[in-house]
Structure 1
Amino acid sequence: MVETLRHLGESLYASSFLFTLCHVLSFMLPTVSPFSNEWITSVVFLLGIFGLIGLSELARVKLNWTPELSRKFVHVLVGLFVLMSPFLFVSNGPPVALAIIFIVVNLVAIKSKKFEGMHATKRKSYGTVYFPLAYLILCLFWWERQITFQIALLLLTFADTAAAIVGEGVRNPESYRPWRDQKTIQGTIVMALTSALLTGLGTTLFRSLAGMEPLELQLLVPLSLFVAAMATIAEAVSDSGSDNLSIPIVTAVTYDLFFESVGNGSAAVLIMWILLSFIMAQGAFSLRVLTSDGALAAFVLGVFVFGIGGWKFMIPLAVFFVLSSLLSRIGKKSKKDQRQSFGKESERDMVQVYANGGIPLILTIWWLYNPSDIIYFAYLSSVVAATADTWATEIGFFSPYVPRNIVTFRKVDSGASGGVTFLGSVGGLLGATVIAASAWFFIQDVKVLSLVVAVGFAANVFDSILGATVQASYTCGGCSKRVEVAHHCDEPATLISGSKFINNDTVNLFCTLSGGAIILLMG
């Protein structure tokens, strides 16, 4: 514990120094481009970042820096550069162009194994690609929300780095694996504490620079804790450096959600939604409906969807989640045997949670910044599509007739993607109707709800067509069964049809995407 606190102190000291440097530089910078043309500024900006990369390579070679140390050096200095971008550029055009350039450059560098000071790590990581991708998204959607923009980058630049330094440097780490990347308890604690500190300091600093009144302590403290908690979850549940993307985006949405709730006088209601999301996620994990990472994903999903949309967003999603979970437990033994033959598990993981709930989540976040009926209709349609697909599968298991391939009409094994039955189709239509009915209190329009049911069910049919045509299908070398996963019986399976890049989760994502997109296009 003493060692952890020592590392924490060192990390916070380093973060404080760099943050102070950023404060001074930002305060001294003009609010307009130092050159007559912002594109000239962008070229200088670009050369400056390349200079930093070259400097890190030189330090790695001359000073015998480890690749990990060199990568952190680049991460922090590039983070400082992008933190200054709102003070250098009036429009977001040049920053967007710079972000795209570095996404391409870093992808090429990773594939060609160039710039080891940036990309060489002990594990496979695309963090240097996720960083500019996150910057691109922030520039596109949060450029006009300067304080949110800066807080998101502060946590990405300093809190994430502090967590990594402590996690890798502590002598006796307490490791755990919330998803795919291994984390340490010590690093997670530092991530949370540093995030809270930077959120509080950053909010105070940037509100002052913007000429705004300082935030009262009774608001600043819960804001800092809320943002820190969500950012820490985003950092913990990561894969191959994806926290460089998830931390700033989750931070930005959380930050804006807090102020939206406070502005509407619904801060207490937000706390209720947070508690409800926790209870539902914990309950699903205890009942073995969700894996640990699936429960964390469901918690984040619930906080955002319930916290942003309230009852009108909460009820359809909760009905889908609860009733679908109950359906999955009916005939659990026989379903488990069939699922395992196709490489499927009854417990849903994070990927499966977002395959079904990711599009509704994105639409909910869109609604936060641009509330409109059409976005809500699209949200409802995407949930209807997910429900129709899930219920068609769960109820179709009980069909007395052999499923037919939706494209060729040939008989297929029960549970195979692309296979349909009359009972399963009726079940899918029933699920779509139940979700639409759950929104009746908010949309008392039979025509609109009928359209949502029709579109959601059509998305379910589209899901089956994709499953029968482009979804990957394999033959297991061990048991000779036809499966839908690349590894089965502890050995690689042979691809016999479809694309290896498209699995059941991808198809489910396209299902919910099509359900929402059709409504948006019609609107």
Structure 2
Amino acid sequence: MHPVAAIVLVSVILAALMVGISWLARRFSWEAELARKAVHVSLGTVTLSFPWLFDELWPVLVLGVLAISGFLILRMKRSLREGVGGALHGVERRTFGEIYFTLAVALVFWLSKGDPILYCIPILILTVADAAGALVGKRYGETGYATLSGRKSAEGSVTIFTATFFSAHIPLLLAAPELSRSGTLLVALTLAVLVMLFEAVATHGLDNLCIPFGGWFALQRFMDKTDGEMAIRLLVLVILLGMVMIVRKRSSLDGSAILGAVLYGFLCWSLGSWLWFLPPLILFASHLIHTPLVQKVDAKLNHDLRSILGLAATTIAWMLIGTVFQRQPDYYVVPFTIVIAGYFAMTSFGTLAVLKPDWPRSLRIILVSLKAVILSFLPLLAFNGWSSAPLIALPAVLFTVWAFSQVDPENPRRRWQQALVVFAISFIGLV
């Protein structure tokens, strides 16, 4: 089929689905979430045909522009929003999920380079698992946990895990002959846990972008792994999740932040090596030791997902830089560890400010900086022997903690300011 004809056909089908579902929702008084997810599943099912309809990226981009333009018009025109767009905008929460959905389809189509498996499995997971988790969580969810955009339920997360497993396992069995039966099982199980974690930490509709991109990223890394390598990955992920769930009562991190910590730890281990995994693990262990002490003084101590996002963004950035410039695996481990040491020192400074408020600020800055540098660089020194890296890092960490001590604790942009300062200072590790 000619690409232009395919664009017209898909556009007509998508528009008809929107109109039809909106009419059905009004006619039979569907719940707002059910109507929205009906649109979600219908549009996702149509986009699964793209690898067979389009050989090039530009038709998908054209469809994306048309779809986003239509969604924005529905948002701006009240009469359309309450009519044709009623199925999308009946929910009370403000979300841009349909925009992220469209962006995700175009992004994954481009990244998959025409491979139906790498495209269809992430989009199928987004289409089925996300919708199933939302509906089950809304109707049957009783065990909740806090997120940045409200509360999610354990029942919904388990549903997402189950739906993701089948959305990945069945296509892999049918269309991935390079994987053994046990290999498809291991890939599907690992992917299911990861997608469950991605969905738990995503807010404001961003799960529509995080789930397919995360699914594609994990899948393309897993497809060439042996059964033994995949078994180790699944085992590490399950152990991390189990350990964090066991000790979560000692932590001030809320529900989504705890799950975000698991996802972050697995990414550090999976993308890097033990040198990238052990420093964050030491930081988390210190957090578990000191949090109960601080909570005796400040019982309301609580940290949400933003505490993890700042750390994750600045450290994983060094992993991605290494991937882009194709350096040897541990080339950027020193600036990575400086970021960890900076966060370690800042959290320790906050702890010491509560436990020892009468100590001079300069003394607290020096003590926490020394402790953070020594403990953070311990794995690097143990694996690679003595180097000057800790001596280079110490002035950077001292400056980071001093800058942190100058920031107003009530400043809503404080976490991102900290992240930018730590990331900028970490470049000294390239010296």
TM range (shorter): 0.7 to 0.9
Q: CA deviation at 1:217?
A: 1.2
Does the 8 Å contact 1:152/1:252 carry over to 2? yes
Query: What's the CA shift string for 1:306-363, capped at 9, x where partnerless?
Result: 23323121111112221344344556534x27xx5xxxx1x43333233333433465
Query: What's the CA shift string for 1:84-119, capped at 9, x where partnerless?
Result: 333444454554565467557646744665322222
Name the structure 1 match of 2:145: 178
Residue 154 in 1 paired to residue 124 in 2?
yes
More helix by share: 2
Q: Distance in 2 between matches of 1:44 and 1:462?
A: 57
Paired letter, 1:348: H
Residue 395 in 1 paired to residue 362 in 2?
no
Residue 423 in 1 paired to residue 379 in 2?
no
Partner of 2:145: helix, strand, or coil? Answer: coil
1:510 to 413, 417, 420: 420
Q: CA deviation at 1:294?
A: 3.0
Name the structure 1 match of 2:190: 226
Name the structure 2 match of 1:200: 169
Q: Distance in 1 between matches of 2:38 and 2:109?
A: 23
Does the 8 Å contact 2:373/2:390 carry over to 1? no
Q: Distance in 1 between matches of 2:74 and 2:157?
A: 30
Does the 8 Å contact 1:96/1:139 carry over to 2? no
Name the structure 2 match of 1:302: 265
Name the structure 2 match of 1:411: none
Residue 70 in 1 paired to residue 35 in 2?
yes
Assess, with a 3 A threshold, how the Cα gap between structure 1 residues 290 and 165 changes in structure 2: closer, same or farther: closer
Q: TM-score, normalised by structure 1?
A: 0.66
Q: CA deviation at 1:155?
A: 0.5
Name the structure 1 match of 2:381: 440
Paired letter, 1:231: V
Q: CA deviation at 1:218?
A: 1.3
Assess, with a 3 A threshold, how the Cα gap between structure 1 residues 300 and 108 changes in structure 2: closer, same or farther: farther
Q: Distance in 1 between matches of 2:72 and 2:393?
A: 40
Q: CA deviation at 1:224?
A: 1.8
Paired letter, 1:249: F
Q: Distance in 1 between matches of 2:303 and 2:371?
A: 22
Does the 8 Å contact 1:428/1:457 carry over to 2? yes
- 1:206-245 to structure 2, matched below 5 A, reads 206-207=175-176, 213-237=177-201, 239-245=203-209
Aligned residues: 421
Does the 8 Å contact 2:251/2:292 carry over to 1? no
Q: Distance in 1 between matches of 2:180 and 2:54?
A: 30
Q: Distance in 2 between matches of 1:268 and 1:61?
A: 49
Q: Distance in 1 between matches of 2:339 and 2:345?
A: 10
Assess, with a 3 A threshold, how the Cα gap between structure 1 residues 306 and 436 changes in structure 2: closer, same or farther: same
Q: Distance in 2 between matches of 1:245 and 1:323?
A: 33
Q: Distance in 2 between matches of 1:200 and 1:117?
A: 31
Q: Distance in 1 between matches of 2:38 and 2:346?
A: 47
Q: CA deviation at 1:236?
A: 4.5
Q: Distance in 1 between matches of 2:90 and 2:279?
A: 45
Q: CA deviation at 1:287?
A: 2.3
Q: Distance in 2 between matches of 1:101 and 1:377?
A: 46
Q: Distance in 1 between matches of 2:189 and 2:157?
A: 14
Higher relative CO (Cα under 8 Å, sequence separation at least 6) belongs to: 2
User: 150-159 or 382-391, which moves further after superposition?
Assistant: 382-391
Q: CA deviation at 1:153?
A: 0.9
Does the 8 Å contact 1:178/1:236 carry over to 2? no
Does the 8 Å contact 2:322/2:332 carry over to 1? yes
Paired letter, 2:40: H
Does the 8 Å contact 2:307/2:415 carry over to 1? yes
Does the 8 Å contact 1:392/1:425 carry over to 2? no
Query: What's the CA shift string for 1:225-258, capped at 9, x where partnerless?
Result: 2222332343355544443233323433443454
Name the structure 2 match of 1:495: none
1:359 to 314, 323, 329: 314
Q: CA deviation at 1:127?
A: 2.3
Does the 8 Å contact 1:162/1:190 carry over to 2? yes
Partner of 1:178: helix, strand, or coil? Answer: strand
Name the structure 1 match of 2:101: 131
Paired letter, 2:120: Q
Assess, with a 3 A threshold, how the Cα gap between structure 1 residues 117 and 441 changes in structure 2: closer, same or farther: same
Q: Distance in 1 between matches of 2:72 and 2:265?
A: 33
Identity of aligned residues (%): 18
Q: CA deviation at 1:185?
A: 6.0
Q: TM-score, normalised by structure 2?
A: 0.78
Q: Distance in 1 between matches of 2:387 and 2:110?
A: 37
User: 237-246 or 300-309, which moves further after superposition?
Assistant: 237-246
User: 107-116 or 175-184, which moves further after superposition?
Assistant: 107-116
Does the 8 Å contact 1:459/1:514 carry over to 2? no
Partner of 1:270: helix, strand, or coil? Answer: helix
Does the 8 Å contact 2:41/2:127 carry over to 1? yes
Q: CA deviation at 1:259?
A: 3.7
Q: Distance in 1 between matches of 2:346 and 2:114?
A: 39
User: 322-331 or 148-157, which moves further after superposition?
Assistant: 322-331
Q: Distance in 2 between matches of 1:391 and 1:108?
A: 49
Name the structure 1 match of 2:18: 53
Paired letter, 1:232: M
Name the structure 2 match of 1:349: 304
Paired letter, 1:128: E
Assess, with a 3 A threshold, how the Cα gap between structure 1 residues 269 and 60 changes in structure 2: closer, same or farther: closer
Does the 8 Å contact 1:393/1:424 carry over to 2? no
Query: What's the CA shift string for 1:145-198, capped at 9, x where partnerless?
Result: 653332111100112223344455x6xx35221224555665444433322111
Name the structure 1 match of 2:255: 292
